Every structure is written in structure tokens, then in C-alpha cells.
Amino acid sequence: MNAMEIRGLCKTYPAFTLKDVSFAVPQGAVMGFIGRNGAGKSTTIKSILGLVHPDAGQVEILGRDFAKDEKFIKENIGVVLGGIDFYPKKKIAVLTDVTRRFYENWDEEKYRHYLHLFAIDESKRVDQLSSGMQVKYMIALALSHNAKLLILDEPTSGLDPVSRDELTELLGRIAADGQRSVLFSTHITSDLEKCASHIAFIKDGQIQYTGTLADFRDHYAYLRQGDAPLTLEDIIVAVERRPLDENAII
Amino acid sequence: MKTLLYKQLRLVCHPMTPVFCLFGAMLLIPNYPYSVTFFYVTLGLFFTFLNMREQKDIYYSALLPIRKRDTVRAAVVFAVLVEVLSAVITALFCLLSAKLQPGKDNAVGMDANLMLLGAGLVLYGVFNLVFFISLYRSGYKVGAAYLKANIAMWPLMLAAEALPHFPGLLWLNRVDAQANLRQLPILLFGVAVFAVLTLLAYRRAAQLYEKVDL
């Protein structure tokens, strides 16, 4: 069963087009959604969540059509768009007090557990938390309302290597029970080597490849030079890199 | 709805918004264009909506299990709550003014009576209609929406202030019980206009906001 299925998502902007984006996140998978800056990762995620109106396409999450069951779906997913850039001067306790009221299946015991686990001080203001802590707080909120699918847009961008390592381990552990799934966009591909089971690769608004991490490596095995194994970064750079022509610098 | 309203009050509401609701006390100033008290309340709402944009409420709301149009509903219901609260406070100061300043005759504009309250509700209705439709066309242009709402409101304010000073309409300026009874239909008209325009504002604004790409 798939936790999420995207079919034929299209969106045209004056300078950018999302073309027929289709992929699925199997239940229990950690899917890395990769592509360079401006490839269409955030636009796809925003289209999935209804923040941007796709011109065409269908989004099915937890077996339900997003357009028809938006409220149910949002009750059962957790979304982290980078860190927190809203309500920076509010205390964490206040933000939680407001947020928890929106979820019927809010579990206060779990919330306390994750606060303790992540060492988050509720009396701090949002802008007093480091970027890594902000992402962890958002994950704590998502896990406290028993989200079955986590959608994270660039959660590791701007984090130090230790925080990134902690976060990738956390995401892997969240999906390890086989019930919860994660869709995780990033351009820091080394993070995915540690936790992703599946990959969706987007370039210029089009999906280039989607499948398991192992299949992805096999698919691009032809790019391999020498004996060194191909990293995800090698693949992306080889596919995306455009050489500067000799008149580029004037 | 209760949860959405709680969110508006706890996270969004600017401290000056409820303070401006108390400006109904200006009705105790002997000579003053009292309709300005309604303008101050809209200024309080402007502060709140500016605050909402600056705090990036759009992104917070987008993560919550609510439909996009519910964001608009929360905003409109919050404004209605503030406007009704201010109307009630203004009504109390109408009574207080009659008690403390018997025989007062406001030389500048409307007097503290039911005509004033009716006009205030019409002004709030017009404000809601123009402000919310303009705001949710983009989702973020609060200043432009407030300017447009004021352009619609001020001529009405001036007309309402001038009306009771025309010959034959002097009864609109009286504060005695008999005149107030005669002004009751104006208050009811104000309530109806407020309700209809606010409902229209919500419907159109929600429709427009659905189409906005965030």
C-alpha cells in the first residue's frame, strides 16, 4: 500500500513548469525527494498540500483524495516546511497550546515524551531555538498527533553536520515501524544515503527517476568512472552539471 | 470555529485592537465627529492583520488541519467579534453620555444616539466588504486593502456626520427617548447592512483566496 500517490501533477508559472510529476511513497518508506535548487521540489510539495493550485493532477494520501478529504488528510500527516518562520516571538508552550486544539488525536503524553527526548524547553521563544531544534519541535508536534506520513521540505538545510546526522537517524527510526512513512526533500544528498529507502529525482520540473535507492544507483550505474562506488551526489552532479562555456565570464 | 477563534485571539490579535474598542469613550467629548471612533476600530483591525502577515500566519495556518477557506472565516469572525464588541461599548457610552451630559448638542456631527450606532454598523459592513475582498485577492496586501476600505468608508462617514444638520433631518441629531425610537429603524437597517455585507465579504474573499498560490 502507498502512503502517498501523486499522478500527473502539472503547474505552469511564467518562468517555470512542473511537468506531469508522478511518484508514490510506499508505506513504511523514507523517500528522498532530490533535485538541485529550483528543480521544483518545493513547488511539488506545495502542490501536494494545496498551497499551490496545480493545473492538473491528482494527489492521494493515506488512500484518500486530497481535494475531497483535505481535513482528514491534514489531521493524519505532519508537515515541516524548513524550520519555523512563523510566530518567532511566541513561546513554544503557547504555540503548542494553540496547535494541539486542532487535532482530535492529540496525545499529550507522547508530546511530553518527545519534548524530553529532544530537550526542548517550552518556555523558550521560537526564535530562541536553533534551526535544528525548530525542526525537531515540528517533528515532535507531528508525532504527537500520530501522523502517519511526514512531509518535510528541506529540513536539513542550514543545519550543522551533527544535527543533520541526528535528524536523518530520527527519520529512519520513525519509518522503521512500517506504519509511518516519510517524504523528505533535500539537496544535501549525503543525508539520504543514511536513511532513505526510496528516491524520487526531479530535474527542471520533471521526474527523472523514482524507485528504491538500490534501483536508483543501478539506473545511473553507467555514470560510474573507475572503481569508486557512485554516491547520490555524483549522480546528481553528473546529470545536472552544465559546463560554463568559454564566453561565460566577461 | 472555536479553535480558530482561539488561535486568532492567542496568536494573531494585536494588543491595540481591543484598546481601540474602548474608544467609544470619545462619545463623552462634547463636540467631536463621533464616527471617527469606528475608524479607530478599523485601524485596530489593520494592526492585527498586518501582524498576521508579518508573523507569517499563512504558513502556520497552512500546516493545520483546516481548509484554506477556514483561514478566511477565522479572520472575518474575528473582525465581527471586534466590531460587535466596539458597537456594544459605543452603545454603553451613548447611555452614559445621555446620563452625564443631558441636553448636549454635538455641533460637529452626529450625536450619541441610535442613528450613530446604525451608521457605525453600516461603516463596519462597508469596511468588511472592501477590506476582506481586497486582502484575500492576494493574501498579503494588507496596506492596499486598508487604503481601499478607507476610501470607501470616509465619504460615508462625512455624509453620516452631515445628514443630521440638514433642515428636516434635525430629529436624527436628538438624543431623547422619542427621537431614539424614531431612529430605531436606522439601527435595524445598520444591523442588516452589516450582516449582509459581511457575509458577502466572507463568501467572495474565501472564493478568491482558494485560487491564490501561497
The count of C-alpha atoms lying within 13 angstroms of the C-alpha of A74, restricted to the half-sphere facing its C-beta, is 21
Q: Name the pLDDT band for B72 (thresholds 50, 70, 90).
A: very high
pLDDT the model gives residue A240: 82
A interface mutation test: which of B9, B63, B64, B210 has the most A CBs within 10 A? B63
**Chain A residues near residue B213 by CB distance under 8 angstroms:** 46, 51-53
pLDDT the model gives residue A78: 92
Q: Name the pLDDT band for A221 (thresholds 50, 70, 90).
A: confident
Tell me the pLDDT of chain A averaged across its residues.
Answer: 89
What's the pLDDT tens digit per position in A99-123?
Answer: 999 999 999 999 999 999 888 999 9
b vs e for A16-29, b when ≥16 Cβ sit within 10 Å of the residue's Cβ?
ebbeebebbbebbb
**Alpha-carbon span B148 to B151, nearest angstrom:** 5
Contact B65 A103 (CB under 8 A): yes
Based on the number of CB atoms within 10 Å of its own CB, is B66 exposed (0-12), middle (13-18) or buried (19 or more)?
buried
**Alpha-carbon span B68 to A185, nearest angstrom:** 24
Torsions phi, psi of A156, nearest 5?
Answer: -100, -5
| Residue of A51, A74, A87 with shortest CB distance to B11 | A87
Distance from CA of A73 to the nearest CA of B (A): 8
Helical pair A131-144 and A108-118, crossing angle rounded to 10 deg: 160
Please say if the pLDDT value at position A91 is more than 90. yes
Q: How far is CA A241 from CA A203, A227, A244, in A?
A: 11, 22, 9
Mean pLDDT for A150-156 is 88
Please say if the pLDDT value at position A82 is more than 80. no
Which domains does chain A possess?
2-218 (3.40.50.300)
What's the pLDDT tens digit per position in B83-116?
Answer: 999 999 999 999 999 888 887 888 888 888 899 9
Q: Is A16 on the interface with B (CB under 8 A)?
A: no
pLDDT the model gives residue B92: 95
Kind and range of the H or E element at B74?
A: helix B68-100
DSSP state of A62: T
**Alpha-carbon span A186 to B164, nearest angstrom:** 66
Cell of residue B81, nine digits: 467579534
Give the number of other CB atoms < 10 A from CB of residue A124.
Answer: 14
**Alpha-carbon span B159 to B146, nearest angstrom:** 20
B interface mutation test: which of A16, A44, A91, A102 has the most B CBs within 10 A? A102
Please say if the pLDDT value at position B160 is more than 90. yes
**Chain A residues near residue B3 by CB distance under 8 angstroms:** 101-102
Cell of residue B173, nine digits: 441629531
Q: Which residue of A has its CA nearest to B1?
A: A102
Q: Higher-confidence residue: B181 or B120?
A: B120
Kind and range of the H or E element at A171?
A: helix A161-175
**Alpha-carbon span A192 to A170, nearest angstrom:** 12
